[in-house]
Structure 1
Amino acid sequence: MEADEALLSPLRELGVPEAAARRALALTGNVSAEAAAQLYFGSLETQEQLDGGGCYKMVFVVNTELAMGVGKIAAQVGHAAVGLYQLIQEKSTGRKMICQWDEYGAKKVVVQGSNTAHLMDLQALALSLELPTYLVQDAGRTQVLAGSYTVLAIIGEEEIVNQVTGKLRLLN
């Protein structure tokens, strides 16, 4: 059963991803947006089924040993996001991952890494779990020495990414 387009808008306004909203409407027989919303928000297990599996997220691990300013950190996280996105777009499987990540809210989290060795260890673990990564190496034009590793970006299913970064503290 196809989703009723008129009922889709209220669900999207509630923050329900489009694909999940369509599935919830179809499963409830297009009775109402309220019935679909209750199904979607009813339980985490139901939500994951409607979402079509695990959610994806992108995590940025900032090398706090470098004592970068807020603007520098923002720029380095931007480099990491663009670099990882470009890297993933080169692979057909990566394009699917990016679509799923984007469709379900494009979740991004910024956490603290203690130093360069820590970033390298996290990257090695992520790669062993077959997660795409991108490590930013600074050009050295402003606050840090040329060649400094500033940010590690990782993307993948949230459950797997959490095996790498789940215990790290949010950047404050």
Structure 2
Amino acid sequence: MVCRLLEALLSAAQRGEVMESSEQCPPDSAHQEVNPVFLQQLRELDIPEEAARQALLHTRNVSAEEAAMYYFNKLENEEEGDEDMMFKMVFVVNMELSMGVGKVAAQVGHAAVALYQAMQEKNTWREMVWKWDHAGAKKIVLQGTNTAHLLELQALAMSLSLPTKLIQDAGLTQVEPGSSTVLAIMGEEEMVNNVTGSLKLL
């Protein structure tokens, strides 16, 4: 499968569809920007955009072929070395607020989007998100006792360097403004379990 994908890139190069990076991307921007032509070619191979960008940066925008080889080699090594490593995102709902089903669903949605956006700020977090998504994007909703409990869990998660996001509601429906509704935590499964492993499913 990988060989066929690389053969497709080579074929495109022979037809003149693959352009040299010097024609598209100035050398001094190679560390900051990726060649859009190469990025598109990698996306056509079903490589996730963030992974494609990282592959191009690591190979200095030389070519889509080089980036594809880097990506597939890295993926193969990760599958061999991190076979048992799984990631998950958990949502701890503040049960003290007695929110309705729809309200809880909306707040969990807010938490998922907010944490995902926050994790785009660091390279290591972006890679974690990619691995999590690649492995099925596992998500678990759990019960938290009250606001103090959510804050305690957040502090513990942060002490373990796990990305977190605490949602505070605007107070337009059901709860008071500023109420802490849902805590989202992301990370390697065993690490997250150190924080939320004793909690009950919602």
| Shared fold, TM over 0.5 | yes
Structure 1 match to 2:141: 110
2:110 to 63, 76, 79: 79
Q: CA deviation at 1:146?
A: 0.2
- 1:165/1:3 CA distance change after superposition, 3 Å: farther
Distance in 2, Cα, partners of 1:168 & 1:112? 6
Q: Of 55, 64, 77, which aligns to 2:86?
A: 55
After TM superposition, the runs of 4+ consecutive aligned structure 1 residues lying more than 3 A away are: 1-5, 48-53
Q: Which residue of 1 aligns with 2:174?
A: 143
* Superposed counterparts of 1:88-99, under 5 Å: 88-99=119-130
Structure 2 residue runs of 5 or longer lacking an equivalent are 6-71
Note if 1:64 corresponds to 2:95.
Answer: yes
Distance in 1 of aligned mates of 2:3 and 2:112:
34
1:75 aligned partner, one-letter code: A
**Alpha-carbon distance change, 163 to 49 in structure 1, aligned in 2, over 3 angstroms:** farther
Shift of 1:93: 1.1
Partner of 2:68: none
Task: State the alpha-carbon separation in 1 of the partners of residues 104 and 4 from structure 2.
Answer: 44
1:52 is displaced (CA, Å) by 3.9
Match of 1:40 in 2: none
Match in the other structure for 1:125 = 156
SS in 1 for 2:119: helix
Residues 11-65 of structure 1 show CA distances to partners (whole Å, capped at 9, x for unaligned) of xxxxxxxx8xx85xxxxxxxxxxxxxxxxxxxxxxxx857545100000000000
TM-fit CA distance, 1:73: 0.1
Amino acid at match of 2:173: T
User: Partners of 1:101 and 1:144 in 2: how far apart?
Assistant: 32
Aligned length: 133
Please give the alpha-carbon distance, in whole angstroms, between the structure 1 residues aligned to 2:193 and 2:3. Answer: 33
- TM-score, normalised by the number of residues in structure 2: 0.61
Report how far residue 124 of structure 1 moved. 0.3
Q: Which runs of 5+ in 1 are unaligned?
A: 6-18, 24-47
* Greater RCO (CA < 8 Å, at least 6 residues apart): 1
When the two structures are superposed, what TM-score results if normalisation uses the length of structure 1?
Answer: 0.71
CA RMSD of aligned residues (A): 2.3
> Partners of 1:3 and 1:167 in 2: how far apart?
46
Question: In percent, how many aligned pairs have the same letter?
Answer: 65
Amino acid at match of 1:157: E
Question: Superposed, which structure 2 residues align to 1:30-41 within 5 Å?
Answer: none
- Report how far residue 91 of structure 1 moved: 1.2
2:190 to 138, 150, 159: 159
Tell me how far apart the structure 1 counterparts of residues 128 and 83 of structure 2 sit (CA, whole Å): 12
Question: Which residue type is aligned with residue 103 of structure 1?
Answer: H
Give how far 1:115 is off: 0.2
Which residue matches 1:43? none
